[in-house]
Structures are given as structure tokens and as C-alpha cells.
Structure 1
Amino acid sequence: MRTHDFVAVGVGPFNLGLAALTADLPGLDGVFLERRPGFDWHPGLMLEGVTIQVPFLADLVTMADPTSRFSFLNYLKHTGRLYPFYIRESFYPLRAEYNAYCRWVAAQLPSIRWNTPVETVTHDGEAYLVHAAGETFRARKLVLGIGTAPRVPAVADQGPYVHSADYLPNKARLQGLDSITVVGSGQSAAEIYHDLLGEIDRHGYHLSWLTRSPRFFPMEYTKLTLEMTSPEYIRYHHALPAGTRDRLAREQRHLYKGISGDLIDAIHETLYAKSVAGPVPTTLLTGAELAGVIWDEPAQRYTLALHHAEQGRSFTAITQGLILATGYAPRVPSFLDPVRHRIRWDERGRFDVAVDYSIDAAGTEIFVQNAEEHTHSLTAPDLGMGAYRNSVIIKGLTGREVYPIERRIAFQQFGAPTAGLPRTLVTS
């Protein structure tokens, strides 16, 4: 049986970037397995005109290899869109454009095997055996890039709710109802609310937007905050105690799970424009936590139990449509069960991810993509850090630094200096 250098499971943007960065490396043999028939990035949220939240430089390869033939700029050149993109004068590609770019890259990579769901992974004493779609792939190393799964609060898991990941296929049905409620305060919630608000006059529903957050947090784009997406911050955050990291994860959510400022302004402008003709049939409410949900099948409506934390008041709301923009959560795939003993786990049953993204006991065999938010903080889901992480993983796969790995890019430093402050900052 042929033994590959590595098998990668899942082909989202991060493993697609790994496939592109390893495509032209001589002597490295990898295969990528994906259960879907082709690449499709967040199809349920492919709203017209919506952009991704990172600049075009955060494509699959550029931050590791600016000369790569798989860059976003090369895609634009090959599709005749480079000059229109230049004239547009925006760093931020459209979400549909980014998806088309990824499809363009995927179509050039014979290492990807579509329609190949992984069933189980075993180990024969020398290498991993990945059993998928009736085939067995043998490899010395694994890269797990299966992505995250939609998070649904246990109290809300009933009735015909729609998670934001499935919004577009359900949009027409939702707009036929007399009331729709969006729960959540991130970018997806804001995009869906704005989309439904724009067509509220045509359909006549009452539209509500509820969040437990104390306000509709904007994404913070200030430069010194962006320096937290850096190798230095990864090392600093990774070295903190697990309890401290978990606390920071809660405190830092608005740094990467907030709403773009332009979208917040666009929502307010839409509300203002519609209010000229009279009151807009919409409710926006912050500080309201979803405490319970009851689905009334005969009446075809939800009763939402809500609690306002700041006032300490509980109340209810009635709605026919319920959209849960409640984010995504990492998952541990069951196909790893036969090799669980080869993997490091933390006290909460999560992958114990090393700073180099390895999770196996030896620290040289299994690597993860976007399954390390609890150890690597906001850099885990950040598209702009994908190429950096892949540079580190490729070093782990090959034993050499194929793409230069940045060690320090920030002006600031994180944590207390080991030698104290410079003499010029010390007062007598």
C-alpha cells in the first residue's frame, strides 16, 4: 500500500491553503479528503454585496508565499477582473468573489479527493490508516481541517428554527411569516437582519433582533489591536494558564466576532430612511438572554423566554420565525476514536494543541486547523493567519522551514518583560 507523507481531512479555506502551498513542493506527497462534492464556503450566507472581513492579502497563500500562482491577485488576472478590482479601491473582496477564488484554486489541485467522507482512522504501528469511501489511505502524518459546526443553544433546539449557516435556503419561507426574530450579535446576525430589513416593506413581517450582549459591538480594527494576530501574541497566549485563556476568550469576543462598523452604519441608515414613512415594524434589543424556547406546533409559533440581566427582569416574546445566529463550535470527530490514545487532551476534553498546532503525544504526527481557539485565541479562525499556520504545519510535515516563519511582527510586546523595563523608563 502506498504511504503518503500526510493525509489532510476536510477542505475548507485553511486546508485548501495547505494544498496550494504544498502543491509544488518536490518530494512531499499529500492527499486531501473531503466529503462534499466540491468547494463551497458558507453558501447559506452568500449575500450579494457582502465582503469578507479581512483584506485580499489574507488569501490562501500570499502571507506565506507572495509569488504563488495561487494568489488572489493571480486569480483576478486570469479571470479578467484585476483592473475592476483595482478601480474599486477596496481591500476587501466580496464573499462570493472569495468563494469563486477558492473554487478556482481547488480546480487546479489534483491532490484533493472530493466525495470522500472519512469513516475511521486507525494506526498500524508505523503509520495512520484513513478509511474513507471504501478506500484506505496510509500516511505518516495527519492534518485535521474539518472546521466548526453550527452552535445551537440547548434551550432552542426545537421547532423549525434556522441557524444562520442555512439562512439563504430558508429565506423565502421565513419572509412568508408574520414575524421573524434574529438571535445573536455577530456579523452574521447583522447581515441577516440588514437583508431582511431591506425587504420588510414588501413582505410586511415584524422583524426583531435580540442579543444578550450589552450592545451591538463593532469589530475592532485599530492597528495595535490587530497586532494581536501575530506570532508574538500566539506564543504569549499559549503560555498562559488554561483558565486564564478561557476567561480571555470570553472577554475578547468582540475583537473578532463583532460587526463591521460600515454594516452597523448601513443598518442605522436603512432604519432612518424607512422611518420617514412612519414607524418601522422592528425591534432591536440588547442585554436580553434567551433563557428558554417553546415551540407551539398547532399555532406554528415560538414563545421565547428572555431575561434582561442588567435589569434583572424576565419577559416573553412571540415569533413565528426564529433565526439563530449563535456562531460555531469546534468538534472532535468520532472517526478519531480508534486513535484517541495517541492524542493529547486537556481537562475539558479538548485537543491540547501545542504552539506548533500538533495534538499527538509525540508532537510530530497530527496537526489541526481552526480547532485551537482555546489555546491560540483569536488567531485560530482568522483567515489572515491561515498562511502563517500552514507555514508552521508544513515545517512539521517536512522537518524544514519551507516558507519563512515570522517570529516578531508587532511593535508592542505582550506580557511582563523578563529583564524589567528599559533604563530610560525607570524613575528614581
Structure 2
Amino acid sequence: MSNELFDTTRIYDAVGIGAGPFNLGFAALANPVPGLDVLVLESSEEFAWHPGMMLEGTHLQVPFMADLVTMADPSHPLSFLNHLKDTGRLYPFYIRENFYPLREEYNNYLRWAAARLPSVRFGAHVAAARHANGVYELDVHNAEGVHTVRTRRLVLGTGTVPYVPASVPECVLASGSVVHTSGYRSAREAIASGSRIAVVGSGQSAAEVFADLLGSLRPDQHLEWVTRSPRFFPLEYTKLTLEMTSPEYIDHFHGLPQGTRDALSARQKGLYKGINADLIDEIHEMLYRRQVSGHTPVTLRAATSLEGLGHRDGALQLHLRNQDDGGGFDTVADTLVLATGYTYREPAFLADLGARINRLPDGRLDVDRGYAVSDDADVLVQNAELHTHGFTAPDLGMGAYRNSVIINRILGHGHYAVEKRIGFQSFGSPAPGSPAPLTPTLEGAHA
């Protein structure tokens, strides 16, 4: 990383902070735009996408078209298909006839794209931010020291952090016998060595870890899966439900009162946090085969919450409660995997910007329909708007759409064509005298 990239005489049009898939997409879609000068900073030394869950055979829950660029510009050179062509793997992928890339394959694609983006810089940590005279000044730390980066706009893509329930004491978490799925791969050998292994959580990550452990479970071991959800529910993936990952549903959701949005979000977790139905069937088949062979040292508990966790007689003691009948009971484990998901955490430097950042009465970010959290629309966010835009926020397939909106907003004109309507169904009540159109509509460059 050269010092000239931190020249204080240069004012970028936008600086993205964080280089996960969404801000990589921002850099990729900004790259061919004439005159648009952007920089993306990432504190990690190299790109890594969920390395703790890079398990053999696991795959995305979205098709390959949910890459960085295709849904905004199918001809873009940093598409997933172009990555396959460049690496000599296009025909094997074609012959495989499967729309869903392996997770390792997708990570390889993201690393390939990052290496081809001159605007992306790793090992650069943003420690502080200031605003004066229409310009943001960022204190950026890297191996060469502290530099000042100046920009007219910020695009925050700092991502989410592992969520650990309050019922898990810090001292127990630090014992080494408990690991969040974000660190599962490196801790797998230690976790799998326990005589009694527990997995707590729902969703795809919990199922993948459970299946991984079940595949190598010995007859003298016991594996338990506990989920607070009322059942081991599948990801809802029917076509009319998929239409809710659409601009018009975001319009509808964003226009609702915040209390209604929160209530809807609580009910919609199955739309993006469920388990792939094929994996559920695979787990059942694995259990069935074990039953036939006489070895089923497994317990599955739905509608059961983790109320507390402690140590007793050298083992972990899980305090559980059934959500249906209210009964409390304990179970014992030697090792525990927390598949409890992730939560958004604001970057510390955001506090430096004070009143420039719009907030809801409860302190959460007040994200407008165009993904801005400032009155001047000069601070924009990626995947920090679940509470204002709905479950499309973490959806990889909507990343290119959101980046198209953000880039068009930065430019002040429609460089990228942006879909306004993609579905057959309508959401919410129609305005008097204006029936919903029945055909997809675009706005922007090619409308």
C-alpha cells in the first residue's frame, strides 16, 4: 500500500469502509464509471469470507447470479462466470448443472475480484472520522503509519459481528470448550473430540455444523442439537415468496411505521435464516442410516432456549427451557458450538460524526429509502438496514441493486438501470385510481 493513496490533497468522491461482498460490489460497479473516484478500505490484511464455516461441500443459498455485478451489469468483467472462464472452470461448472456455487468457490471468486480492483486496499483501519466544509477526514492506520484520507461521502460496509447470547458468560466462552460458528473450522478438531457435543442455534450454519459433526460421530459419543425455533424450519424458497426480494417490496416495507417493520421482521426470519430443505433431508437420511446400523447417539430439541451456561464437574452445564410447556431442565456437554448468528455493530468512528448521523428514537440508524443515514445523503450504508428495509438487507442477490442505487445517488443521475418493479404481485394498498402495473419497470440508464 503506497503513501500516495493517502495523499491529503486528494478528495475522493466516496470511500467505502469495509471490504466484504457488498463493498467489493460497490468498488466493482464504480470501477468502470467515468470520473468516479472511489477507495475501499479494509482493516483485515487479506480477504476472507466466513472462513470459520468454509466446510467441504457447503454451498450458497442463492444462485451464481447473486455475484458482485451481474444483476446490475451482466456484461461486467468481474462477474462470477468471467471468473470461471478466467480460471478454466467454466465448462466444469456448466456440466455440473447446479446454479448454487460451493461456498469455497464463491470465496475464491471474491478473492479473484478483490485482486483486480485497484480501489480496494487491505490492512487499512479507519480509527476516527471528522467532517468539515463538506469533506470527511479519516484517520487511517496501516503498516506504514497513520494517514489522512479525505472524501465527500462514506459508504459503510463494515458488516456484522458474531452474536453471543447474554446467557453465555464471558468466562465460559473463554474456556476453549465453547466456540461460535465464526471460528468453527479452526476449532473443529477440539470440538469433535468431546464425548458429549452440543450445537445451539437454528438456521443454515447450525445445520451444516450438526451434519459435519454427525458424519464423523463415534458410537461412544453423543451429539445434541438445541434450537429455540419451534421447528427445524426450511428456508422458504417458493417463487412468489422470492418476489419479496424486490424493489417494490422494499418500497412497501420502508413506508411502514417502525413498530410494524419490527413486527414483520420478527415473523420473516424463515425467509432468510432457514435451512436448505435438501440439507434437512440429508440430515434425516444420516440419522436413519445410523438407526438401521444401531447407532443413534443423537438428541434434537426444537422450541428449546438456552437460559444459562456454566461449568460443573469439568463439563459444560446447559440450562434449557422448553418454549411450549415452560419446563426447565439441564443437559451436559464437553464441547459446545454456538450457531447463534450475527448482529450489526456500528463502527466506533461513527460516534465521531455525532448529529450528522440520523437516528430513530431508539438510537438505531434511520436509513432512508436510498440507503443514506445523513441529511446530505453523504453517508450511506450496506447491510445495516434490516430494521428499515427488511430481510433484503443481508441478501447477496440484492447487493448489486443496492449498489446501483448508491452509485446513481452519488453521481446524481442514473448510470445504472434500476428496476422499479419485478414481480407479478403487489404489496400494500394501491393509491386511489392507480392500479398496480403488471409488467416489470426500469428507471435509469437503459429505461
Counterpart of 1:281 in structure 2 is: 297
Q: State the partner residue of 2:218.
A: 201
Q: Secondary structure at the match of 1:419?
A: coil
1:29 is matched with which residue? 37
Match in the other structure for 1:228: 244
Q: Give the superposition deviation at 1:320.
A: 1.3
1:129 aligns with 2:146: no
TM-superposition CA deviations, 1:271-306 (whole Å, max 9, x none): 11111111411110101111111134xx33211111
User: What secondary structure, in the 3-state scheme, does the structure 2 residue paired with 1:410 have?
Assistant: coil
Question: What SS does structure 2 have at the residue aligned with 1:155?
Answer: coil
Instruction: Specify the SS of the correspondent of 2:88.
Output: coil
Give the conservation status (yes or no) of the 8 Å contact 1:175–1:205. Answer: no
**What SS class does the counterpart of residue 12 from structure 2 fall into?**
strand
Using the alignment, how far apart are the partners of 2:109 and 2:251 within structure 1? 32
Counterpart in 1 of 2:183? 166
* Residue number in structure 1 paired with 2:192: 175
Residue identity in the other structure for 2:137: L
Q: 1:370 aligns with which of 383, 387, 410?
A: 383
2-structure distance, mates of 1:274, 1:82: 38
The range that moved more, 122-131 or 244-253, is 122-131
Task: Give the aligned residue type for 1:412.
Answer: Q
Q: Which of 180, 183, 188 does residue 205 from structure 2 map onto?
A: 188
Q: Which residue, 308, 332, 340 being the options, matches 1:292?
A: 308
One-letter amino acid matched to 1:380: A
Q: Partner residue of 1:312? A: 326
Question: What is the CA–CA distance in structure 1 between the aligned matches of 2:233 and 2:314, rounded to whole Å?
Answer: 33
TM superposition shift of 1:106: 0.5
* Deviations 1:340-386 (CA, angstroms, capped at 9, x unpaired): 21000112211100010000122x20000000000111100000000
Residues 156-165 or 167-176, more deviating: 156-165
Deviation at 1:155, TM superposition (A): 1.0
Q: What is the match of residue 219 of structure 1?
A: 235
* Corresponding residue pairs, total: 418
Instruction: Return the letter of the residue paired with 2:303.
Output: G
Listed as ranges, the matches of 1:12-411 within 5 Å are 12-133=20-141, 134-158=146-170, 159=172, 160=176, 161-201=178-218, 204-296=220-312, 299-362=313-376, 364-411=377-424
Q: Which moved more, 1:381-390 or 1:205-214?
A: 205-214
Tell me the amino acid that sits aligned with residue 256 of structure 1.
Y
> Where does the alignment leave 5 or more consecutive residues of structure 2 unmatched?
1-8, 436-447
Q: List 4+ stretches of structure 1 deviating above 3 A.
A: none
SS of structure 2 residue aligned to 1:100: helix
CA–CA distance in structure 1, aligned partners of residues 167 and 268 of structure 2: 25
Shift in Å, 1:126: 2.2
1:105-151 CA-to-partner distances (Å, cap 9, x unmatched) read: 00011111110011011112320011111111000000000000111
Q: So what's the TM-score if we normalise by structure 2?
A: 0.92
Higher alpha-carbon deviation: 125-134 or 184-193: 125-134
Specify the alignment match of 2:430 in structure 1. Answer: 417
TM-score normalized by the length of structure 1: 0.96
Tell me the alpha carbon deviations over residues 372-427 of structure 1, each in whole angstroms, 9 at most, x when there is no partner: 000111100000000000000001211111110100001000012222797xxxxx
Change (3 A) 1:295 1:270: same
Report if the CA contact (8 A) 1:9-1:145 is conserved.
yes
Q: How far has the Cα of 1:253 moved from its partner?
A: 0.2
Report the counterpart of residue 425 of structure 1 in structure 2: none
Query: Residues 356 and 393 of structure 1 are in contact (CA less than 8 Å); yes or no, is this contact kept in structure 2?
Result: yes
Q: Secondary structure at the match of 1:302?
A: strand
2:156 maps to a residue whose letter is: L
Q: Deviations over 1:150-194 (max 9, x none)?
A: 110011133132111110010001111111110111000000000
Q: Structure 1 residues 299-308 or 190-199, which shifts more? A: 299-308
C-alpha distance in 2, partners of 1:300/1:141?
53
Question: In structure 1, what is the equivalent of residue 445 of structure 2?
Answer: none
CA deviation profile, 1:312-360 (whole Å, cap 9, x unmatched): 2111111111111111101111111110210001122111000100001
Of all paired residues, the percent bearing the same amino acid is 53
Q: How many angstroms apart in 1 are the aligned matches of 2:180 and 2:169?
A: 10
The alignment partner of 2:418 has SS state of: coil
User: Residues of 2 paired with 1:60 and 1:358: CA distance?
Assistant: 20
Cα RMSD, aligned residues only: 1.2
